[in-house]
Amino acid sequence: MARAKIALIGAGQIGGTLALLAGLKELGDVVLFDVAEGIPQGKGLDIAEASPVLGFDAKLVGTNGYEAIEGADVVIVTAGVPRKPGMSRSDLLDINLKVMGQVGAGIKQYAPNAFVICITNPLDAMVWALQKACGLPVEKVVGMAGVLDSARFRYFLADEFNVSVEDVTAFVLGGHGDDMVPLVRYSGVAGIPLPDLVKMGWTTQEKVDSIVERTRKGGGEIVNLLKTGSAFYAPAASAIEMATSYLRDKKRLLPCAAFLTGQYGIDGLYLGVPVIIGAKGVERIVEIELDSSEQAMLDKSIASVQELVAECKKIVPSLG
Shorter beta-carbon distance to ligand APR: residue 9 or 269 = 9
d(CA 101, CA 308): 17
Residue 54 sits in the site that holds ligand APR (CB under 6 A): no
Q: Where are the alpha helices (DSSP H) in 87-232?
A: 89-110, 123-134, 146-161, 194-199, 205-216, 218-226
Using CB under 6 A as the binding rule, whether residue 121 contacts ligand APR is answered as yes
Question: Of the candidates 254, 234, 229, which has an alpha carbon nearest to the alpha carbon of residue 244?
Answer: 254
Instruction: Please give the residue whose beta carbon sits closest to ligand APR in the complex.
Output: 12
Quote the least distance from Cβ 228 to ligand APR, whole Å: 10
Q: Does 14 bind ligand APR (CB under 6 A)?
A: yes
Written as one letter, the residue type at 306 is Q
Asked whether 316 and 129 are in contact (CB, 8 A), the reply is yes
Q: Which is nearer to ligand APR, 230 or 263 (CB)?
A: 230
Choose among 118, 127, 128, 121: nearest CA to 93: 121
Residue from 119, 257, 297, 302 touching ligand APR (CB under 6 A): that is 119
Contacts with 288 (C-beta within 8 Å, 6 or more apart), sequence order: 183, 186, 274
Select the span of 7-15, 157-165, 297-305, 311-319 touching ligand APR (CB under 6 A). Answer: 7-15
Among 26, 35, 49, 279, binds ligand APR (CB under 6 A): 35
Number of residues located near ligand APR, criterion CB under 6 A: 26
CB 40 within 8 A of CB 9: no
Site stretch for ligand APR (CB under 6 A), options 8-16, 195-203, 251-259, 303-311 = 8-16
Separation of alpha carbons 159 and 157, rounded Å: 5
Q: Which of 132, 154, 176, 216 is catalytic?
A: 176
Report the binding-site residues for NAD(+): 10-15, 34, 96, 119-121
Q: Which residues of this protein are in contact with ligand APR, per CB under 6 A?
A: 9-15, 34-36, 39, 78-82, 99, 102-103, 119-121, 229-230, 232, 235
- Active-site positions read 176
